[in-house]
Amino acid sequence: MNFSDIIKSLNNASAFDLFRMRAAIDRVLDEPRWMQSVQVRLKVGQEVQYFDPQANALRKGRLLELRRKQAVVVDLADARKWLISYAAINLDGSDVQIRENKAQGLGRNEVGIGDVVGFVDRDQNQRTGKIIRLNDKTVSLLCAGVQWRVSACQ
């Protein structure tokens, strides 16, 4: 599925249309057949990859519990427990990168926490750092021990 084309199409939709579409998708994902199709492929203790929409990246976890509508996982990187949707589990190894084709800069959907990116600061110095936080319009970077907040489209 080409997510870049879908995002381009969605840019022409109204906020109300997008909200209704999200409600329709949520209803479809709540149908038992979708959850059961994932549940039958899972076992407690299994290591899985799941999509973290906040970080826009895959994370690795171990299944602790299979509930009716969600799974409990412990994140292997930070040992925190999370309750996740079965739909977030990437059983087929799908590519999770959504790349927007823009003429300049990067969009929020094109980067994830932990990625290394570069930018030009206000003194025209090139800097490189690791993404530590994604906001709606800005990205927080750690560059040589100093935290920077830059526009996502720089």
CB count, 10 Å around CB of 129? 21
pLDDT in tens, 115-145: 888 888 877 788 888 999 888 788 889 998 9
pLDDT score for 153: 64
Q: Are 95 and 51 in contact (CB under 8 A)?
A: no
* Mean pLDDT on 64-69: 94
Q: Has residue 97 got a pLDDT over 80?
A: no
pTM of the model as a whole: 0.61
Give backbone dihedrals phi and psi of 95, rounded to 5 degrees, phi first: -70, 125
Q: Are 90 and 58 in contact (CB under 8 A)?
A: yes
